[in-house]
Chain A
């Protein structure tokens, strides 16, 4: 006999101001199965939860429906609440009368109340058919994978490793270090980026619990929390890592040349190369696109081979190929970082055709002592020191028309940093900054900005730049000073654009590979914007750093640490509880046709032979069988199954039909 308790939450005025909660409670009081019905101000509060628990005991309830917010918000809370007084948590259902009702039907109190009644009746009808379910258990592989070897990935791996767990860092470029290794100084302290990053890179490479997998890509992710099977593509380095000593001789005579990506193409590098002198591993790779040998092979010839001749260790291996291998992990951290927005979409900044209109990251390489100009701030076009520099903020940020609608968060500070650096290096150079707003919400950030203006004499102009054009050797920057209401025209030698941070171009594909969500811009989405900032909707996959959205170094490091804690909490368990809401096959009904087998994305369904008595004798036949620890509960098999023998626990055919019927019955 079903005895359902119904609890309608006002959520203060969130629901109560629109939905007549008392009327809803009254309307379902005599609905089939309902034994108790009431309403209360805050159901999720402690008194609210106590109220539910007391009602379960007093009224001998065996099922509970709470009508309140989204189950994505409080399903866990209420399941735990009923479990405390001995009720199976799966005998609980939620009706969403806030996000799906009161908040979207403001002012339509009558209709919203009617809708709430419907939603509650649907939930009651479903809960009447709920069954007691028990969580399952699955083992945990005590090893984590961090995807991306930038500062976030390195920090996260170090934190996990220092907690005593094995962790692999997967990095697609030949070296770990990420964007931070390209940056010269860090705000607001102006300490050298390499000086604080390289010790961490060394620590990661020498840590007994950390394994670096560089020049490799994530190919495929299968399995589930605690038990991921990750296929990794190790790209052909053309250098045997076990033989290479990292002496660098091979690079000295390489005739192949390519744009140096690390230095923002401001100079050339050799075809066999390490991206930068402090690279880790400090062993080169051959870029087959620019290597003369590989290029000649495409034309059926086979030339050069100088690097092999030079190498004293015999480590050059032209025949290496990409290798695929599968590793097992218990948890995955995505720390794939960001890319810089390409300003060439902006006609007003010259569509990227003026060599002396550069991005912030270009500037970082220009000002870096080991960069292409040995740290001298000069114009890329003629290597002359600029006497007037114009900086433009929000290039691609806060511009839904041509760029991104969001604020990239870091540009205000890095522009201020770069402005002070210019003034330091070239005290006679005048610096102007065009800005929309100055946003400095960080420790010592606003102080830094004020120093930039007051001590360093950088001229901030509030307004946008409408046009940049070349006139002789100079760039004429036209804009508006909105505070003075005047047009401004500055003849500059160098223009530095504060380009937005954007996701990696393949971030969506990456998210699909891993099975996590991403937003309209391609940033990975966290499970909750406030309360689950490092988790994703996929259990066992966490986020660190700018892959989730624009972040500066302190924020990336902080989030990396947070992700590491979540990973460690997961790996510290010997077994994981698994959701019991999985598919199950009623072997009595199953014909063993096997149509469901290829439909399962987790390969959880197999055909197995069972014995049964038929017509007085024992016969064997095949039926489908679901491996409940592999099944993730999508339900694809249930629709493929014609006889209804495959069913999804907690979302059974009978439960969904009951909901449909309950809704339709209320229509007359």
Chain B
């Protein structure tokens, strides 16, 4: 990857957002017109505890540049305890990703409440800027699959 290409690199970030807090926080960012770079795509799940680490791995396999898993603050879970499991799972998976050589800046878990529109804006903005700086993800990628798809879409 040449420096020039990295400079023009627009990463894609996938956000798994829990319906009750982070999705509402992202909505609040919208209603408050808080601007952030258009590189994120929010995928709604009922609770952060619904996010199987395998979903995250899959996204990296398919070539995503960064993943954010976000839910309610501990103690605020709509389902009372969901995010406590999220916390255990992702404390471990974050370390495993790092162990596998995936830059830890590409993968974050964060608590963002329904009242924290500005925090949503801040977290995704920072993440996009970080990922932009380190360039496209080339770890864990299933290049074969990505290339095949590329050919298909070009047709």
* A residues neighboring B (CB under 8 Å): 70-72, 96, 98-101, 103-106, 108, 111-112, 114-115, 118-119, 122, 508, 512, 515, 517-520, 525, 537-538, 581, 599, 601-602, 632-636, 638-640, 648, 651, 653, 656-657, 659-661, 663-665, 667-668
Contacts and interface: CB of A to CB of B under 8 A. Distances in A.
B46 A634 contact: yes
Contacts of A517: 20-21, 76, 113-115
Interface in B95-151: 113-115, 121, 146, 149-150
Contacts of B41: 115, 118-119, 122, 663
Contact of A634 (B47, B53, B76, B153): B47
B50 A651 contact: yes
B79 A668 contact: no
19 contacts: A70-B30, A71-B44, A96-B42, A100-B26, A104-B35, A106-B35, A108-B38, A512-B76, A599-B85, A601-B80, A634-B78, A634-B79, A636-B49, A636-B50, A639-B49, A639-B52, A663-B41, A664-B63, A664-B64
B112 to A, nearest CB: 13
A517 B78 CA distance: 8
Contact of B115 (A105, A520, A602): A520
B43 interface: yes
Contacts of A635: 45-47, 49-50, 82
Contacts of B52: 638-639, 653, 656
B35 A105 contact: yes
A599 B113 CA distance: 23
Contacts of A664: 12, 59, 62-64, 146
B84 to A, nearest CB: 9
A103 B21 CA distance: 19
Given A525-B115, A638-B50, A639-B52, A103 B81 contact: no
- Contact residue range for chain B? 35 or more
B62 A661 contact: yes
Given A635-B47, A651-B50, A668-B149, 12 more contacts: A70-B30, A72-B19, A115-B38, A512-B76, A515-B78, A517-B114, A634-B79, A635-B82, A656-B50, A659-B43, A660-B58, A663-B64
A652 to B, nearest CB: 10
A122 B38 contact: no
Nearest to A106: B35
B79 A657 contact: no
Contacts of A633: 46
Nearest to A101: B38
A433 to B, nearest CB: 33
Contact of B85 (A104, A518, A639): A639
Contacts of A105: 35-38
Nearest to B56: A660
B1 to A, nearest CB: 15
B62 A660 contact: yes
B31 interface: yes
A660 B43 CA distance: 8
A497 B62 CA distance: 62
A648 B46 contact: yes
Contacts of B46: 581, 633-635, 648, 651
B30 A100 contact: yes
Nearest to B89: A639
Nearest to A221: B80
A101 B79 CA distance: 28
Given A115-B41, A660-B62, A636 B79 contact: yes
Contacts of B64: 660, 663-664, 667
A105 to B, nearest CB: 4
**4 cross-chain pairs, A with B, having the tightest CB-CB distances, nearest first:** A99-B30, A635-B50, A664-B62, A634-B79
A114 B40 CA distance: 11
A518 B75 CA distance: 11
B56 to A, nearest CB: 9
A663 B62 CA distance: 9
A104 B82 contact: no
B29 interface: yes
A651 B75 contact: no
B39 to A, nearest CB: 8
B68 interface: no
Residue from the set A101, A520, A640, A656 with the largest chain B CB neighbour count within 10 Å? A656
A665 B50 contact: no
Contacts of A581: 46
A656 B79 contact: no
Contacts of B45: 635, 651, 656
A415 B153 CA distance: 70
A665 B45 CA distance: 20
Contacts of A119: 41
B30 A103 contact: yes
A665 B27 contact: no
A632 B38 CA distance: 33
Interface centre among A96, A633, A667 (most CB of B within 10 A): A667
Given A525-B114, A657-B58, A664-B64, A537 B27 contact: no
B24 interface: yes
A515 B83 CA distance: 13
Given A634-B50, A636-B47, A651-B45, A100 B27 contact: yes
